[in-house]
Amino acid sequence: MQTVNILNQIGNTPLLKLKQASEMTGCNIYGKAEFLNPGESVKDRAALFIVKDAIKNKKIESGGIIVEGTAGNTGIGLAVVCREYGLKLKIVIPKTQSSEKKETLKRLGAELIEVEAVPYSNPKNYIKQSKLIADKLTNKKGVFWANQFDNLVNTESHIKTTAEEIWVQTAGKVDGFTCAVGTGGTLAGVSIGLKDKNKNIKIALSDPMGSSLYSFIKNNKLESKGDSITEGIGTGRITKNFDKALVDYAFQTDDTEALNLIFRLYENQGVFLGGSSGINIAGAIKLAKEMGPGHNIITILCDKGERYKGKLLNKDFLKQKKLPIPQWL
């Protein structure tokens, strides 16, 4: 009988051509189908590298405890990896995150600690609380705070896997890349990895409303306006991972534009994605228009829309937020 290790299935995701976005711009726009990872998101990559690095450096061993503050997807990735390595997992998560992600974390064996959603500047922010919890815990097999936002192994995971895969899959014919930022690891790692192969590849930040990074790239000021229902992206600070990103352009997208794109993608290509993918696709369209027809643009399709069905498929919620409601809902 032929079997595989689930961790060996992380990465090597295919590129999906985004037909409508490509037709709109005259470019070839592709999305890296990260929702096909075992934990169903791009965060599986960083989770695997962070845990393997901690084990390699003897910070933790089987039976030990990993603690992390996460909006959900990194937690799910860590839960998948921790199961394989026999590690326990404590997740600190804002109460505002989707119930679907929380239930998935529980099913995977993670202990959830839900806290109020407050800015990073607040001492009760979920990231800061996760560090405090990690510092207080003791375990003979080790306690490790994953620290995805400032742990540069996150960026390394995307230099070594995501960027390399994109280069191979496009046979080196990639002209631009864009994605949103949560930790900054994906944008930093892919930008470093691709520009190392061709310095002329253009890199763009795709930012939701409510985030300060668009303003930072444009005006060198951390200022924000508006808000967003998207989860896991957008931030008001410069993480150590994002600080490494090599960014040429920045674009900002509101939820109406993002949701229209993911609903149309579902109608036209049968793929239902989360809101962050809508922000990314919008950014890819804007980058394509900036660069002009004939270019190959890559973005990240982060996770599945089913992970947010309580919001994205909830007519009352969408109506309350004055967001588009697809005809098929």
d(CA 318, CA 315): 5
Question: Could you tell me the pTM of the whole model?
Answer: 0.96
Q: Over the stretch 271-313, which tens digit does the pLDDT of each residue have?
A: 999 999 999 999 999 999 999 999 999 999 999 999 999 999 9
Q: What mean pLDDT do residues 24-38 have?
A: 98
Please, which pLDDT band fits residue 213 given cuts at 50, 70 and 90? very high
Spot the catalytic one: 276, 286, 304, 311: 276
Q: What mean pLDDT do residues 3-12 have?
A: 91
Q: What is the pLDDT of residue 215?
A: 98
Please, which pLDDT band fits residue 205 given cuts at 50, 70 and 90? very high
CB neighbourhood size of 147 (10 A): 21
Percentage of residues of the chain with pLDDT beyond 90: 98
Please say whether the beta carbons of 323 and 229 come within 8 A.
Answer: yes
Instruction: Specify whether 17 is catalytic.
Output: no
**Helix (DSSP H) and strand (DSSP E) numbers for the chain:** 13, 10
Q: What is the pLDDT of residue 160?
A: 98
Please say whether the beta carbons of 33 and 45 come within 8 A.
Answer: no
Round the average pLDDT of the chain to a whole number and report it. Answer: 97
Please, which pLDDT band fits residue 136 given cuts at 50, 70 and 90? very high
Q: What is the pLDDT of residue 1?
A: 74
Q: Over the stretch 217-252, which tens digit does the pLDDT of each residue have?
A: 999 999 999 999 999 999 999 999 999 999 999 999
Q: What mean pLDDT do residues 3-14 have?
A: 92
Instruction: Specify whether 43 is catalytic.
Output: yes
The alpha carbons of the chain give a radius of gyration, in whole angstroms, of 19
Q: What mean pLDDT do residues 126-144 have?
A: 97
Q: What is the pLDDT of residue 10?
A: 98
Q: Residue 145: how many CA atoms within 13 Å on its side-chain side?
A: 19
Spot the catalytic one: 43, 244, 286, 304: 43
Q: Over the stretch 162-198, which tens digit does the pLDDT of each residue have?
A: 999 999 999 999 999 999 999 999 999 999 999 999 9
CB neighbourhood size of 280 (10 A): 29
Q: What mean pLDDT do residues 104-115 have?
A: 96
Percentage of residues of the chain with pLDDT beyond 70: 100
Domains identified in the chain and CATH numbers: 6-36+158-320 (3.40.50.1100), 43-145 (3.40.50.1100)
* 71 pLDDT more than 90: no
